[in-house]
Structure 1
Amino acid sequence: MREIVLDTETTGLDPLRGDRLVEIGCVEIFNRMPTGQTFHRYINPQREMSKEAFDVHGLSTEFLADKPVFSAIAEEFLEFVGEAPLVIHNASFDIGFINAELERTARTPIPRERLVDTLLLARRKHPGVSNRLDDLCSRYAIDNSHRTKHGALLDAELLAEVYIDLIGARQSQLILAERVEIRVGTQADAPRRQRMEPLLPRLSESELAAHQAFVATLGDKALWGEYA
């Protein structure tokens, strides 16, 4: 099954108040394993960056000034995600911004039925504790030491690793690999079992005599003559 792990960065917290997307990062996974295929774009939000948002991701108004606007990358983005489920941490935040941008370009919003919210999954599996992405990386021993600031592609890559552990897919793969190794090893290395006593012959004396008489009619050069 194909899934897309997705993360965004924005100019603020509320698309209804004019905040815009500034970065999208996507990681493709197939049968719960990253394929190496990614989608990553910076986006010109056509507005000033708030100080609070800049402190989070470090993307300045000046840096984004020459980047494409969302309408220029919308089709490429939609083509990459296709109809796959979207795996997002705190999905309502990201999809709110994505759908606001799609609506601005007269495109169909992404339905919420396609979303897999890893924050909700984490809260069910680890209730009563913090389930931020950094916390989950620490919990599952995923190296995030290079994450000094938020970044859409980096966070999507980390989330893909977290998601695989969160749903137990990595453990299942290890168990399967172990079973395959044991099964192959048994076939290749196990000694053949020998019967304590040989089986009794299943042919009667008359059947053996009839067979030998038939083989005799095949001539001395017949292959069966070597086994008569």
Structure 2
Amino acid sequence: MPTSPNEVLDQLVTDSAKTGWATMTIPLALFKAFARESGWEAVATRRGDSSVSKLKPTVSAEAPVRSVSAATGLEAQLLHVDGAHLPFVPDIVVMHSDTVNSTATRIWKPSFGVVHSSAVQHGVFIVGTGRDAFLACAADDTGLRFDPYCMSPADSRSRDASSLLTSYDDVYEHAWDEPNKLLLIRNRVVLHGRARAEKGEERELTRIAYRTGPLK
């Protein structure tokens, strides 16, 4: 049985391997210290941003250009991998809320058959736009890379892959129903996104993406 904060958090990471996510109630500062001691690298998911970001439901007109919020506003987001547009996709995404709110985070783990299908493994997407655009598949040896907001299908297999990865079943809805709730997501294993938010919802999550290297 874990007897120290680091052992508890080690167990949280281990538990996340089973479903692609795990949750507990803990101050964020304790998790950040654990991540530093584990040698994890916090990375920004948008150019020019801090590695620590604040997520708030935002109407489209007020959201950063080309962000998920700019595309969806307060409506439910299509499920995605954070940082899919980066050369190296983060391994772990952590979200934390100091307060209770009523807007869930939705999570879906695609089946083995979907992830290892020819469409997902070999369909080619154009990732991003302009001079920073590159080609990639929706999965590789280290896991998923899929975000329908920044990835455009470039062939018939990638169109099939996009259909497979937006046809959700058995979606888990994580409730932010306690103060200091922390959600750890294995970003290369599952897709996630915010549920529909009500206008004026007092919801603010702190998000940190990490590159960790191999995990248990």
Which structure: greater strand fraction?
2
Q: Same fold (TM over 0.5)?
A: no
Which structure: greater helix fraction?
1
Of the two, which has the highest radius of gyration?
Answer: 1
**TM-score between both structures, scaled by the size of structure 2:** 0.27
**TM-score between both structures, scaled by the size of structure 1:** 0.26
**Higher RCO (Cα < 8 Å, 6 or more apart):** 2
